[in-house]
Chains A and B, each alone.
Chain A
Amino acid sequence: MLKHDVIIVGAGLAGLRACVELRKRGIDAVIVSKVYPTRSHSGAAQGGVNAAFDENDSWESHFFDTVKGSDYIGDQDAIEILTSEAPGNILELQKMGVVFNRNDKGGISQRPFGGQSFPRSCYYADAVGHMMLHGLFDNVLKYNTKILYEYFVTSLVVDNGKIGGVVAYDIKEGRFHGIAAKSVLFATGGYGQVYSSNTNALINTGDGMSVAIRADVPLMDMEFVQFHPTTLKSTGILVTEGARGEGAYLLNSLGVRFMSKYAPKAMELAPRDVVARAEQTEINEGRGIDGAILLDVRHLGKEKIMEKLPQIMQLSIDFEGVNPIYEPIPIRPGVHYSMGGIKTDNNGRTAVEGFYSAGESACVSVHGANRLGGNSLLDTIVFGRRAGIDMAEYIKNVDFGKFDESAVRRDEEIFENIKKSNGKERHGLLKAELQEDMRKNVGVFREESLMKKAIEKIEELKERAKNIGVDDKTHLFNTDIVEAFEFKNILLIAEIIARGAIMRQESRGAHYRNDFPERDDDKWLKHTVAKLNASGGIDFDFSPVKITKFKPQPRTY
């Protein structure tokens, strides 16, 4: 059995950032990732990372914007940390080698982003996630970090409320390993693949969240799913909010900038939940074009597009057949981000001692019911760093927890049983059915009758999933079996989302109910906390929202 002081699962921004803190303190931390680190989805982040630098801006203003953006269900103590530590964290990254575009005064160039009252999104053209991911990966190499490439974590090992380690499947060799550790961090990202039209990588299957809740670690606020307003019509590929930050218009089929109706002041730079709903309303009311609306950047001019938005120009050409210099881009809302996740405190600690989470897989909560653009990269580095520092302290005074090796055999059996099964269900097709159902029934506009249909579908798929068979019976790099397991993960996440969304009878942030169109602070100004019960069903509990400075107000833009 392998043994390390710390295991970091997931090698996107949060995991790598935590890793740097641990490794520079000389701690034996190992990275376990189902893909090579630079394949992580953090790299697809385009537009920016927020921090108040300008002399006319303030972190307090960023603090308020984020609380308002969260529709007042973000925890204000956490948001205060996020925003007051933002500038320091960006400068840390810069010291580590990350490059940002520069302004004329020699500072970091910043652009406007949705829901922000000041241009405070730092960027590297429209590929800032890529820049940060590679910069941090390079630093992890610098510290000679051991990386278990292409290892897929299937279980947490917990004994008596204390972490013992993880069970991981070496994809290349087709072998299970127990890895013992004093402390484990899940920085495993989101679950965009629960939905059919999403901006996410194919690897974003909510693995960490599923593995955590199976180990009795609660998930929080899972009904809040962010729909990004601008994803390419045919593929769902992301078109950065930075495009609107640079001045792009949203047009309906009549050529009208329809945002004037929905957010007369902020217009295209209203928060994502507001813009996504506005677009969907235009489409639903017949002012869309073939299920899409248009993002127009032509007036920015060729030079600015080439300089500030080169990636989205190329993506539009390659994936939509449209050159944005000459034509507006057909776009529609698509699933983008999970506000919910593994419930943590402000240092990434969870309900299990020694077990941490950070980044999209975690819910601190800084994003509440709706994340503002440019705050997710910030979340990864602020709370990744804090988790790393806290773990470094934590492991000083503890011993390894108990590691029951039968956990390894149990997962081995699950895989072997799927391989042995003669079941006729194909996980790839079940996944497509689930994704399409979630898109239709637990989407931008929700109502009980639709969501109940989704639950019926999920129950049906749970039954059919018992008959999943795989074609690939071998050990060597068997991606068939990995995908079968990933399907079980997204199926579980889908159920938690749908049941949570039915329960929350109000509209708040990204969670909009046609049958309960108002925010209801009396009943629902609280977090939902999901756990699995003994029979595999989902139980919900609630926890209070921390309100320190800003009392809930009506939210208009």
Chain B
Amino acid sequence: MEFTVKSYRFNPEIDEKPYYKEYVINDFPGMTVLNALMKVKAEFDGTLSFRRSCRSAICGSCAMKINGITKLACKTQVSAEIEKFGIIKVDPLGNMPIIRDLIVDQEVFFDKIKEIKPYLLGKTDHINDDFKALKEGEKIKQPVYYKTEFQNLTGNNDTPNCILCECCYSECGGVVANSKYLGPAALAKLYRYSEDPRDNDKNGSRLVNGSKPAGMFDCVHCQACEEFCPKGISPVKVIVRMHEKAIKNSITFSKGAKHIIGIARSIQETGRLDEIKVAVDSVGISGILNDLPVALGAGLKGKMPPLRLKLIKDMEDIRVAFKDLNLEEKHD
């Protein structure tokens, strides 16, 4: 079958602006988008630039937008794309500066990984450790860790399976809203270490640091990270788990945590969402004043929330529900 690869092209060294270039090539059975790009490069146009390494969906090099959707090129079948779109249109990842063609600058992404301290805290780095070369007949004793202690780290779709391919980051609504936001991969890594039984995080510093501005409470819950992860991991799910964990551990200084608590309190007290009160709870009066122009604008367009809320009729049910929730917390 003959088909068209249409690639985003931009080499700032020689091009004034980005453009698309089309290549018509033949497929072979089982051809992936990466195979197609390699064929173009080897046979027709050596200037087409992209990253690639393992070609088996484990190294995370070849993430790109394929017909508008972020995917690993090595894992994407040409035939399936052609069937749906009639073409293979490729673009560089989103949310990252473009260096050239399909190659983006990953520095900020990896800086964010580093920022969350992706390693066990506590003293693990002694030089004269108890490392041992065994003598004849000698055996070594292992430290004991039970399966349950690693239960959130050993499932097929658990966070240690992340390959740092940046698919989630490329599609992340949180990064669109705030380019400083750590993003799903870094936060999944934060979760991975916070769930490790060997992590010696005495003061809960992981969740404290993760709660800072541009941290886990900047997630906008768009679910894109889960949708686009080629490894079936759901960063948003573990981000929400970390929200809960932070609040349960009274790490509530962040706007995000206050917002969640405010919503819960409003519903507990009135059965309704008292938006004004929630706003005061999350950002305080000074925060409200900062946002006043937005609020006034909304008011002028008839989007002002009511100033006083009536209790709903079935408040007793709400109280029962909250009582149950509290009970659950105690079991946790």
| Binding partners A and B | yes
Q: Are A237 and B133 interface neighbours, CB within 8 A?
A: no
> What's the Cα separation between A99 and B198 when bound, in Å?
10
Task: State whether B58 touches A44 (Cβ < 8 A).
Answer: yes
Most buried by B among A238, A306, A426, A477: A477
Number of A residues, CB within 8 Å of B: 82
Q: Is residue A87 contacting chain B, with contact meaning CB distance below 8 A?
A: yes
Complex partner residue of A479 from B49, B106, B133, CB under 8 angstroms: B49
C-alpha spacing A43/B136, complex, angstroms: 33
Cβ of A246 under 8 Å from chain B? no
The A-contacting residues of B in range 137-183, CB under 8 angstroms, are: 137-140, 142-147, 149-150, 153-154, 156, 160-164
Q: Tell me which residues across on chain A come within 8 A of B139, comparing CB atoms.
A: 52-53, 55, 58, 87
Q: Are A474 and B136 in contact (CB under 8 A)?
A: no
The residue that A92 contacts in the complex, of B42, B77, B129, with Cβ under 8 A, is B129
Instruction: Give the one of B131, B133, B138 with max A CB within 10 A.
Output: B133
Residue of A at shortest CB range from B106? Answer: A36
| Interface membership of B307, Cβ < 8 A | no
Q: For chain B, residues 50 to 65, give those with C-beta under 8 angstroms from any C-beta of chain A.
A: 50-61
* CB-CB nearest in chain A for B151: A102
Interface residue tally of chain B, by bracket? 35 or more
> Cβ of A138 < 8 Å from any Cβ of B?
yes
Contact residues in B for A474 (Cβ distance below 8 Å) = 11, 13-14, 47
B-side contacts of A108, CB under 8 Å: 142
- A86's closest neighbor in chain B, by CB? B134
In the complex the two chains form, is A141's CB within 8 Å of B114's CB?
A: yes
Residues on the A chain within 8 Å of B147, using CB: 101-102, 104
Are A87 and B134 closer than 8 Å at their CB atoms?
Answer: yes
Identify the interface centre among A58, A59, A81: most chain B CB within 10 Å of its CB.
A59
Say whether, besides A58-B139, A127-B161, A202-B53, A88 and B144 are in contact (CB < 8 Å): no
What per-residue 1/0 map shows which CB atoms of A93-122 lie under 8 Å from chain B?
Answer: 011110101101111100000000000000
Q: Which residues of A contact B43 (CB under 8 A)?
A: 426, 428-429
Say whether A477 contacts B100, CB under 8 Å.
yes
Flag whether A399 is at the interface (Cβ < 8 A). Answer: no
- Given contacts A139-B119, A477-B100, whether A234 and B56 have CB atoms under 8 Å apart is no
Q: A97-B119, A108-B142 are in contact. Are A38 and B164 (CB under 8 A)?
A: yes
A266 to B135, CA, bound (A): 29
Contact of A234 among B30, B118, B125 (CB under 8 A): B30
Q: Would you call B133 and A88 a contact (CB within 8 A)?
A: yes
Closest partner residue, chain A, to B76 (CB atom): A318
Known interface pairs A44-B58, A107-B144, A476-B99; A318-B160 also in contact (CB < 8 Å): no
Q: Is the CB of B131 within 8 A of A92?
A: yes
Q: Could you tell me the distance in whole angstroms from the C-beta of B252 to the nearest C-beta in chain A?
A: 29
For A256-274 the 0/1 string (1 means CB < 8 A from B) is 0000000000000000000
Say if the beta carbon of B110 comes within 8 Å of chain A.
yes
- Given contacts A24-B125, A91-B143, is CB(A202)–CB(B133) below 8 Å? no
Question: A557 near B: Cβ within 8 Å?
Answer: no
The answer to whether A95 and B124 have CB atoms under 8 Å apart is yes
Is B213's beta carbon under 8 Å from chain A?
no
CB distance from B11 to the nearest CB of A (A): 6
Q: B113 within 8 Å of A by Cβ? A: yes
Query: Looking across the interface, which residue of chain A has its beta carbon closest to that of B197?
Result: A99
Segment 92-119 of B: residues with Cβ below 8 Å from A = 99-101, 103, 106-107, 110, 113-114, 117-119
In this assembly, does B41 line the interface, its C-beta being within 8 Å of a C-beta of chain A?
yes
The answer to whether A138 and B118 touch across the interface, beta carbons within 8 angstroms, is: yes
**A36-B160 contact given A124-B154, A318-B57, CB 8 Å threshold:** no
- Proximity string of chain A (56-95) to chain B, C-beta cutoff 8 Å, 1 when within and 0 when not: 0011100000000000000000000100110111011011
Q: A319-B75, A429-B43 are in contact. List 15 more A-B contacts (CB 8 A).
A: A38-B59, A43-B59, A59-B134, A84-B135, A96-B119, A99-B160, A106-B146, A131-B160, A141-B113, A142-B117, A202-B52, A234-B30, A431-B42, A475-B13, A479-B41
Query: What are 27 A-B interface contacts by the 8 Å CB criterion?
Result: A35-B51, A36-B106, A39-B54, A39-B60, A39-B61, A52-B139, A59-B138, A87-B132, A91-B143, A94-B143, A97-B124, A99-B150, A99-B154, A99-B160, A102-B147, A102-B150, A130-B163, A131-B160, A202-B38, A238-B56, A306-B156, A471-B47, A474-B14, A476-B12, A477-B99, A477-B100, A479-B50
- Interface on B for A, CB 8 Å cutoff? 11-14, 29-30, 32, 38, 41-43, 45-47, 49-61, 75, 77, 99-101, 103, 106-107, 110, 113-114, 117-120, 124-125, 127, 129, 131-140, 142-147, 149-150, 153-154, 156, 160-164, 193, 196, 198
Chain A: residues with CB nearer than 8 A to chain B?
A: 24-25, 35-36, 38-41, 43-44, 52-53, 55, 58-60, 81, 84-85, 87-89, 91-92, 94-97, 99, 101-102, 104-108, 124-125, 127, 130-131, 134, 138-139, 141-143, 149, 172, 201-203, 234-235, 237-238, 306-307, 310-311, 314-315, 318-321, 426, 428-429, 431-432, 470-472, 474-480, 483
